[in-house]
Amino acid sequence: MFDSANLPHVMTKDEFEAAESRLRELLLDAQFEVAEQKRAAIMVMINGSDGAGKGEIVNRLYDWLDDHLVETLSYGKPTDAERARPGAWRYWRDVPAKGRIALVLGSWHHRLLRNRALGRLDKNAYNNALEEMIRAEEMLRHEGVHLLKIWLHMDDHEVRKRLEKLREADGALRRPAVIEWDEIQGSKARARLIDAALEMIEKTSTGNAPWAVVPATNPHYRDVAVGDLLLQTLKSAAAGAPAAPSTRAVAAPDSALPRPSLVSTLDLTKTAGEDYSKVLQSLQQRLTEATTAKSFRDKGLVLVFEGNDAAGKGGAIRRVREALDPRRFRVYGVSAPTDEEQARPYLWRFWRNIPRRGDIAIFDRSWYGRVLVERVEGLAAPQDWMRAYQEINDFERQLGATGYLVVKFWLAISQDEQLRRFQDRETKAFKRYKLTPDDWRNREKWALYEQAMTDMVDRTSARQAPWALVEANDKKFARLKVLRTIVERLEA
Amino acid sequence: MFDSANLPHVMTKDEFEAAESRLRELLLDAQFEVAEQKRAAIMVMINGSDGAGKGEIVNRLYDWLDDHLVETLSYGKPTDAERARPGAWRYWRDVPAKGRIALVLGSWHHRLLRNRALGRLDKNAYNNALEEMIRAEEMLRHEGVHLLKIWLHMDDHEVRKRLEKLREADGALRRPAVIEWDEIQGSKARARLIDAALEMIEKTSTGNAPWAVVPATNPHYRDVAVGDLLLQTLKSAAAGAPAAPSTRAVAAPDSALPRPSLVSTLDLTKTAGEDYSKVLQSLQQRLTEATTAKSFRDKGLVLVFEGNDAAGKGGAIRRVREALDPRRFRVYGVSAPTDEEQARPYLWRFWRNIPRRGDIAIFDRSWYGRVLVERVEGLAAPQDWMRAYQEINDFERQLGATGYLVVKFWLAISQDEQLRRFQDRETKAFKRYKLTPDDWRNREKWALYEQAMTDMVDRTSARQAPWALVEANDKKFARLKVLRTIVERLEA
């Protein structure tokens, strides 16, 4: 779920200063409006890796805001008074009054993750607690409390480096810092923590109250990103937008900040080697073996192909298909829904085509149309495509829980390569049917699709069904990568 | 949760025929409108006790509706094709098209309850499945599928009688009937079933998708009640009301049918015996012992007093208070919220006053104001007080889970008795401060309060915190019943 947060996010000092002077003024204006109206309270939940700058963010926000109307809520070990009461009591006691902003460190999210990491909650108990938390947050939003949930993300290697720098030889800290995850050291506890955090982010990555995952490696970028998110929250509160889920049209961070796209990180020049045919044959052989093995009978395989127009989905699917028992698979080409389909919930057309266990369904485009073409073309309202992330995660989790393997591909080509292929299609009669006016129109929205694809991978690369991004300027390379990915997932 | 459904609900043949001819016409009109618009699909989930008439209801609805636009979906043992796919597949496959009505027997609710009763799901797994179900239903509603969830209720004794009548000596059925719970026989399985059903109804008794619990003992009443609910659903669908939760203002069955009030069943003439003082003293003694015992230190006690104006809450509280260690309790009189309270979510003022474990909080009026005075006086919007039932259940469940005992009283007096007490207060100087113009105004809304109280008890008499209804025309009787209830709950 952190795919795009792992990309380099840079901001120079000059850029920062320009952004800062703009942000300060806007933040103050918005803050005063919220304060005067006394209609909404804001809680900024600051969570994330140690060393990612949780404390620095709080200090920065105090600088930028009017500090009389801001309060810090920080929760560590429960006090005696807190231990003597239900766990939620201490958070309830501190709920900020309408008109005010609370900066929250060590929120209930932290406590829950910590208890899971330390093994105090088993998987089911954790899940139950998570659902209770979701309901409680929903209630707060209904009551006019806007929750801005921030996860400062830094990769583990960088975290270690920072923490080392912070510590003296005797383990003491060189300067004040918010250290929350100190206790979680053993590899088992770390694994549980990461798993629990992913689950939390998956389950709450809805249109209602998504986490904003903020890349924290570059402090300039980090601070401006958080300021920007807060500004949006304040503005939406001031505009009287209810904090309640359904009426909040766009909960996605729609920031003015540059957001690197996931595709931009792919090396599209990769090519298949000389031995393409040999490797292809060997991978197909392995695929045949894996899908005809006795153990496969209790499984199902669901393959999803998405990608740019003309990225070579059809060709890749053909190479997969060739290796499969023709009685056991079916390819579904997904285009505009039929009348029958239009009359039902959007997942219906996919549910009805879920294969028996032991069989294989190949989707050439899929349910992800909801958050790609329907989003970009405005065919689905923002609140509808935003809730789809969670609905899709639920759907794929159900498949995973009953033995299905879901493998999802994004085939990426460059704009130049696409143009070449379009022109090729125009000139070759037998390929002309493949090119439609829609394809040219979509091309003009390249950047919008790239953004939609980045969000999609961020929010749906769930543990049971991660996305595979496939460099596809070289068709042969793409085919081999697709086959290899399927074979390796099946063999794992 | 079945409190009011257990009351006698009668409807004569003549009343039925009048209601039927009115309903048929309205139902057909509404059905055709929904069919023409093709904007919403309706699923009527018919669940409940065996012998309560699930099959009869389906036949009746076919009579009343245009049967070309209705379909029955019935789920029993999974077929081979269904077993080979995820559990939800068979329901998905059958989702009705927009414009159509599906009558559903053996829905996913039934399967879930059955698996729990048979011990195939442990408590936590059941809870998780329940939450997944809630999310799935929310999605359906967002997608324009209106769910009308009906629970036909009949008490166990009556169920047995009916089933006996239905069966031949050899166990075969005399005529077709929907028998779904045959397998659940052992007392352990029955107990798990009842517990699971209560949990399901508690967790989903929200403003969003409440169960409609329909008393099924009288078939006339039952059929008209279901027809009435379907009519409302169709009308709201036809009026373009989104099936999505938040925008559906009132999800409570607001039927034209007479609904007996819970208070009407109380025998208000009950009086305390001659030995009032002796019994009082002995109960107070037991209360002192129970609340000063060592074992009480890990518990907390939360007492809630609601009731008609002038029902004697103060006097009852005094008799409780006298038996308590003055260092360990506090009485909270709840009136209009302060500025501080108004600025925060409505539960905040109660959360902040939750006592330490080992202490006692007495609430003279409480969070239930949300669904009583705020509902009746229009101080809270329907969608807000409707969601409060679930929020309150969640709140009390949290208290229960951390060792608190929540005991809730409704003190009921008759209208005549109230008038006598009001007049008494007007004439006695030292009591005059107790009577306000509000009291007279509330009195005019007697029927509305009675309805609000019935709904409240139905929806919040959760297992961990049932309501005790107290006949209070005789103050002494009421005081003894209050004390006895607390003592018995503490000693249990």
pLDDT in tens, A9-62: 788 899 899 989 999 999 999 999 999 999 899 999 999 888 888 989 999 999
CB-CB contact of A142 with B384 (8 Å) = yes
Give residue-wise pLDDT tens across range B152-210.
888 878 887 887 887 777 777 777 677 777 777 788 888 888 888 888 877 776 555 67
What Å distances lie between residue B486 and B143, B302, B409, CA to CA?
A: 47, 10, 10
Beta-bridged to residue A462, according to DSSP, are A465
A93 touches chain B (CB under 8 A): yes
B443 touches chain A (CB under 8 A): no
Give me the residue label for tokens 């006019």.
Answer: A144
Predicted complex ipTM exceeds 0.85: no
DSSP B77: S
Distance between CA atoms of B149 and B137, rounded to whole angstroms? 11
SS3 A7: coil
Strands A300-307 and A360-364, by their bridges, are: parallel
Binary contact (A357, B247; C-beta < 8 A): no
Give the residue among B60, B69, B59, B64 at the shortest CA–CA distance from B34: B69
Give the mutation candidate from A36, A85, A121, A338 for the B interface (greatest B CB count, under 10 A).
A85
A249 touches chain B (CB under 8 A): no
Amino acid at the residue A168? E
- How many contacts (CB atoms, under 8 Å) link A and B? 145
Give me the residue label for tokens 């139905």.
Answer: B458
**In sequence order, what are the residues at sequence separation of 6 or more whose Cβ sits closer than 8 angstroms to the Cβ of residue A371?**
A385, A388, A389, A392, A452, A455, A456, A460
Please state the length of chain A. 492
The radius of gyration of chain A's CA atoms, rounded to the nearest angstrom, is 25
The shortest C-alpha distance from B364 to chain A (Å) reads 21
What Å distances lie between residue B457 and A225, B368, B451, B461, CA to CA?
A: 48, 10, 10, 5
Give residue-wise pLDDT tens across range B214-272.
888 899 999 999 999 999 899 988 887 765 443 333 334 445 566 677 887 888 889 99
B121 touches chain A (CB under 8 A): no
Which pLDDT score, from 0 to 100, does residue B246 have? 39
Please state the length of chain B. 492
Which pLDDT score, from 0 to 100, does residue A482 have? 97
Which pLDDT score, from 0 to 100, does residue A246 have? 39
Give the mutation candidate from B36, B43, B71, B85 for the A interface (greatest A CB count, under 10 A).
B85
Query: Hey, what domains does chain A have and what are their CATH numbers?
Result: 4-260 (3.40.50.300), 264-491 (3.40.50.300)
Binary contact (B351, A135; C-beta < 8 A): no
Amino acid at the residue A219? P
**In sequence order, what are the residues at sequence separation of 6 or more whose Cβ sits closer than 8 angstroms to the Cβ of residue B492?**
none
Confidence class for position A247, pLDDT limits 50, 70, 90? very low
Task: Among A83-87, B98-102, B177-181, B258-262, name the most confident range.
Answer: B98-102
Distance between CA atoms of B144 and B96, rounded to whole angstroms? 11
Which pLDDT score, from 0 to 100, does residue A255 have? 53
- Across the range A239-248, mean pLDDT stands at 55
pLDDT above 60 for A206: no
Which pLDDT score, from 0 to 100, does residue A258 have? 64
Mean residue pLDDT of chain B comes to: 86
- Tell me the two tokens of residue A422: 């379009």
- Across the range B23-45, mean pLDDT stands at 93
With a pLDDT cut of 90, the percent of chain B lying above it is: 41
Amino acid at the residue B375? R
Confidence class for position A413, pLDDT limits 50, 70, 90? very high
Give the residue among A325, A340, A396 at the shortest CA–CA distance from A363: A396
Distance between CA atoms of A25 and A18, rounded to whole angstroms? 12
A10 touches chain B (CB under 8 A): no
Confidence class for position B418, pLDDT limits 50, 70, 90? very high
- Across the range A246-272, mean pLDDT stands at 64
Which pLDDT score, from 0 to 100, does residue B247 have? 31
The shortest C-alpha distance from B397 to chain A (Å) reads 11
Confidence class for position A252, pLDDT limits 50, 70, 90? very low
SS3 B70: strand
pLDDT above 60 for B211: yes
Give the mutation candidate from B69, B71, B79, B95 for the A interface (greatest A CB count, under 10 A).
B95
Strands B41-48 and B101-105, by their bridges, are: parallel
SS3 B38: coil
Q: What is the pTM of this model?
A: 0.78
